Structure 1
């Protein structure tokens, strides 16, 4: 990792670095998992996404989706019908993160410690 992005006078302020910014967008337990399933299926409705993820509460899923949408990573498309239909997909910006997720997967394949 290159240190050229760090203000070496204040290494305690990671949030001001490109690395810290990226972590603020994709960090946490669920965001990369949501992105993974959207890459796998392209477009998912809320219930489908929740079933794919498994043990996530509605509150957490809603919060994570709102944050990803706010950050321009996913697109939320709402259809005006009853009952409401909402679909989620990755935006162009979100798709640009896929090579990073693929590298994380490769690292996992190469470094997995089978117990």
Structure 2
């Protein structure tokens, strides 16, 4: 029996482990790698020019996207609709279903715990 892990890409969509670099022609791979390097360089340049407040706002938006994507992957279909009010403490959290392995609170708490160790201060929340 073979066991494959699930890996995630930038948009947090599922990535099949058999879809490796060897599945595409080298020219296409080189083009994709070049486009990714260019996009990463542009992002790095933009982040370097932001003020501290702008960096924190960027990270809040990024954090929201990571949490919503993770909740959706965990099986919380109503996360998009309930997240803002729930995160503000105004409403209940996303509804657990037979597909969810744990509570939405547990997913968010685990992610926030991991992100608190991130080396970039605006992401980790350390001052």
What is the TM-score normalised by the length of structure 2? 0.26
| Higher RCO (CA < 8 A, seq sep 6+) | 1
Higher-Rg member (1/2): 2
**Greater fraction strand:** 1
What is the TM-score normalised by the length of structure 1? 0.28
